[in-house]
A and B are shown apart, each in its own frame.
Chain A
Amino acid sequence: MSSSDIAIKADNLTRRFGPITAVDGLSLSIEKAQVYGFLGPNGSGKSTAIRMLCGLLKPTAGTVSVLGFELPEQADAVRSRIGYMTQEFSLYEDMTVLENLRFLSTIYALPRQQRRERVEQALETYDLRDLQHQFSGTMSGGQRQRLALAAATLHQPELLILDEPTSGVDPQSRRDFWDRLFDLVGHGTTVLLSTHYLDEAERCHQLAILNEGQLVAEGAPAELMNTLDAQVVEIDTSEALKVRHELSQHDQVQSVAQLGTRLHALLDNDIDDPVAEVTRWLKDCDDDIEVSAVSANLEDVFVAATENRQQLEPET
C-alpha cells in the first residue's frame, strides 16, 4: 500500500485537558475511499480525536498527517480539502437552507458559476428543494442532518469527517444517510465518522473501538467478530437477574450483557465445552434454561473491548 492511498495517518496522538487525558497515544492509518468508524462510549475521546484530525485542536503529543499535509502546520491546505460535520448542528438557525448553502459555497470561495451549480445540486441530492426557504432552526433532526451533510460536501472534499452524524435522527433518515455516504465513497471520498450505534459501526469498512482515550480494537467489523478473544454463549432464561449474579461469581466469565430475555456471556477461551460448563453453573438458578454457543456479534466485541477496564457495568 503506497502512502498516497492513505488519507489520515496519526502516530501516538495524545491530547490532555489539564489532568484529564482525553486521547491517549492513538496511532492509526485510514485508507482512502472507505468508511472508517470510531466506536466508543460517551467520553471515550472520539470527538477530541476527530477535532485533532481536522486541525481544530492541537495535539499535546504525537503527529498527524491528513491527505499528505502535516497538522497543525499545514492546516489551511487541509481545510479546503475536508468537509467537517460537527456533532451539534452548527449552521445558522436564523438563515434559510438556501442562504446557509450559499454562504458556505462562498466561504469555500468556489467560482461564481460553480457556486450556483453546486448549491442546486446539493438541494437535489439531499432532498432539500422543498425546504430551501425554510429557516434551518425550524427543521427536524433528519432535515438538519441532510442540510449539514449537503453543506459539508459543497466543495466536494476528498475527506469527510463526521462527528456522531446520526445522533437524534430517526431510523429511516439514518438509513438514507448511510446510502448517501456510500454514494460519496463510491465516488472516491474517504469518510471518517464517530458513532455509538452498533448497527452503524457494523456498516463501516474499518472500525476503531475507543475506550477512555485509547484504541482498544481495530479492524474490519467481520474480522473483529471472528477474532474475538472469547467464546460466546447465549442463555435463554426467565431468571435473568439470578443468572447474571451467578455468572458474575465465575472468573472465566468476562462479561454478561442482556438482550431482552436472552443473555450473552463472554467466556475465556480455555473452557473446553462452554455450553456444558455454563449449564452446570446455572443448574440451581432456573429449571427451564437454554444455553447455546453462538458466534460473536459486534456488541460482544464492543463489550469485550471496553469492559476489560470497567468491570461488568451494564452497557447502555
Chain B
Amino acid sequence: MGWLRSLTRFWAIASKEIKQLARDRLTLAMIIGVPLLEITLFGYAINTDVRQLEAAVADQANTTASRELVRSAEATQVIRVIETVAGPVELKRQLDAGRIDVGIFIPPDFERRLQDLERPAAQLLINGSDPIIANIARQLVRLPAPFTAADRSPAVLEARNYYNPEERTEVQIVPGLIGVILNLTMVLFTAIAIVRERERGNLELLIATPVQRGELILGKIFPYIIIGMIQMNIILFVGTWLFDVPLRGSIWDLYVAAAFFVIATLALGITISTMAKTQFQAMQLTVFTFLPSILLSGFMFPFEGMPEPAQYIGEVLPLTHFVRLTRGIVLRGSELNQLLPELFALTAFSVVMVTIAILRFRKRLD
C-alpha cells in the first residue's frame, strides 16, 4: 500500500505541474521558442568556415601563371580580392589600416621561383590578430602546389574529410547543439521549479502535508522529461530541414540518448533548486553551470586539445557525454552499444544529483 500511495502522490505533483505549465503561456512559448531561436542563431552564427575575407593583390609578375594563382585563390571563396596595389609596402599599409585581412604578393621573378621547389614562389600576408582568420588564410599556402604543373591532376596533396566532406560547420554544430539547448532549458526550468513554490508560499503548505521528498522531487522532474523530448524533436527537425544535417544512425538510439541526457540535466536543475533561495539565484547558478558546459564539453573546442584538468571537469559534465553520443549517432552512424560508457556516465551523474537533491531538500523551513 505504501508504494501505491507514493505513486499517487508522485502523480498528483506531476499532473499539477503539467496543468500549471500548460497555463503558463510565457513558459510554454519558451519551450518552443528557445530551441527554435537558438538553433537558428547558433546554426548561422557559429560558422568557422571563414569566407570572403577581403584581400588585396600586388602582382609584380603579371604573367599567365600569376593571374591563374590569384584566380584560383579567389575560387576557394576564402578571399575576395577588392583591390590591386603596386607592391608589398602598400599591402602592409592596407593590412595595418584593417582594410584587408589578406594580401598576396607575387614577386617579378614568380615564374622562375615556381620552378625552384626550394623557395616559395609568392608570399601571403595575413592579418594574424584574429586567430580564426589566420588559421583559415594560412590554408591558402597550400594553393601554389598544383600550379607547378598546371595541368597536373589530381593535386599533389589530397585531403579527405570524413563525416563532413563539405566542411559545413552546421553539420558539426547541430548534433552538439541539441545538447546545448536542452542543457540550458532543462536546467533552468527545473532550477526554478522548487524555488518558485517557495517564493509563492506554496512550499510551506506542501511540506506540512504527508508528501515525501522523493515524491515531490521526482514528480517535479517528470513533466520536463516530456518537454525535453519535445524540444529535441524541434531541434532535430529544424536541424535536418534548415541545415540539411544527415541522421546517419537510428533515431530511436538518439531518443534513448536524449532521454538519459534530459534526466541528467533535470537532476542538476533540481539540485540547484534546493540550493537557491530565490528564482534569481537559481538563474545565476544555472548560468554558472552552463558556461563550463559549453566551453569544456567539446562542443566548441576539441576535447583532446584541452589541458588535462579541463578534461577532468569536462568528463563530469553531462553535456560532454551527450555531445559524444549525438555526434556518434547523427554523424558517424554509431549504434548505442558502441557508446555505452557515455550512457553509464549520464546515469551515474543523474543518480548522484537526484540523491543530493533529495538529501538536501528538507521538509522544513530552516
Partners in one complex: yes
- A88 interfacial by beta-carbon distance below 8 Å: yes
Q: List which B3-17 residues lie within 8 A (CB) of chain A.
A: 5, 8-9, 11-13, 16
Write the B198-236 contact mask toward A (1 if CB under 8 angstroms, else 0): 001110111111111000000000000000000000000
User: Across the interface, which residues of B come within 8 angstroms of A94, CB to CB?
Assistant: 20, 23-24
Closest B residue, CB atoms, query A135: B23
Is B248's CB within 8 Å of the partner chain A? no
CB of B19 within 8 A of CB of A79, answer no
Q: Is the CB of A56 within 8 A of B207?
A: yes
Bound-state CA distance A99–B208 (Å) is 19
Residues of chain B contacted by A58 (CB below 8 angstroms)? 364, 366
Number of interface residues of B (CB under 8 A): 27
Instruction: Answer whether residue B97 sits at the interface, using C-beta atoms and an 8 A cutoff.
Output: no
Q: Please tell me if B363 contacts chain A, counting CB pairs below 8 Å.
A: yes
With A106-B9, A109-B8 as given contacts, are A72 and B364 in contact (CB-CB < 8 Å)? yes
Q: Say yes or no: A92 contacts B208, CB within 8 Å.
A: no
Cβ of A69 < 8 Å from any Cβ of B?
Answer: no
* Residues 310-366 of B at the A interface (beta carbon under 8 Å): 363-366
Interface residues of B in 114-163 (CB under 8 A from A): none
Tell me the complex Cα distance, A54–B20, Å: 28
B residues less than 8 Å from A38 (CB atoms): none
B residues in contact with A84, CB < 8 Å: 205, 208
Chain A residues 76-90 with CB under 8 Å of chain B are: 76, 79-80, 82, 84, 86, 88-90
- Indicate if A103 sits at the interface (CB-CB under 8 A): yes
Contact B211 A107, beta carbon cutoff 8 Å: yes
Do A80 and B16 touch across chains, with their CB atoms under 8 A apart? no
Q: Chain A's nearest CB lies how many Å from the CB of B211?
A: 5
Partner of B20, one of A51, A55, A95: A95
Q: Does A79 lie within 8 Å of B202, measured CB to CB?
A: no
* Contact residues in A for B366 (Cβ distance below 8 Å): 57-58
Interface size bracket, A side: 20 to 34
Closest A-chain residue to B24, C-beta based? A94
Give the contacting residue for A107; candidates B23, B210, B363, B365; CB below 8 A. B210
Q: Pick the contact of A92: B8, B20, B212 (CB < 8 A).
A: B20
The A91-114 residues at the B interface (CB cut-off 8 A) are 91-95, 99, 103-104, 106-109
Whether a CB of chain B sits under 8 angstroms from the CB of A139 is: no
Whether B9 pairs with A91 at a CB distance below 8 angstroms is no
CA distance A151 to B205 in the complex (A): 10
**Docked-complex contact B202 and A54, CB < 8 angstroms:** no
Instruction: Check A75 for interface membership: any CB of B closer than 8 A.
Output: yes
Given contacts A95-B20, A103-B16, are A76 and B210 in contact (CB under 8 A)?
Answer: yes
Which A residues from 60 to 76 make CB contacts under 8 A with B?
A: 72, 75-76
Complex: A88 Cα to B202 Cα, angstroms: 9
A80–B366 alpha-carbon span in the complex (Å): 21
Beta-carbon contact of A79 and B208 below 8 Å: yes
Report whether A86 and B205 are in contact in the complex, using a CB–CB cutoff of 8 Å: yes
**Which partner residue on chain A sits nearest B362 by CB separation?**
A58
A51-B365, A58-B366, A90-B202 as given contacts; A108 in contact with B20, CB under 8 Å: no
In the complex, the 3 A-B pairs of residues with the closest C-beta atoms, listed nearest first: A106-B12, A90-B205, A84-B208
Q: List 29 A-B contacts (CB under 8 A).
A: A54-B208, A55-B208, A56-B204, A56-B207, A56-B208, A56-B363, A56-B365, A58-B366, A75-B363, A76-B210, A76-B212, A80-B209, A80-B210, A86-B204, A86-B208, A89-B201, A90-B200, A90-B201, A90-B204, A92-B20, A94-B23, A95-B16, A104-B209, A106-B11, A107-B9, A107-B206, A107-B209, A107-B210, A109-B9
Residues of A within 8 A of B (CB): 51, 54-58, 72, 75-76, 79-80, 82, 84, 86, 88-95, 99, 103-104, 106-109, 151
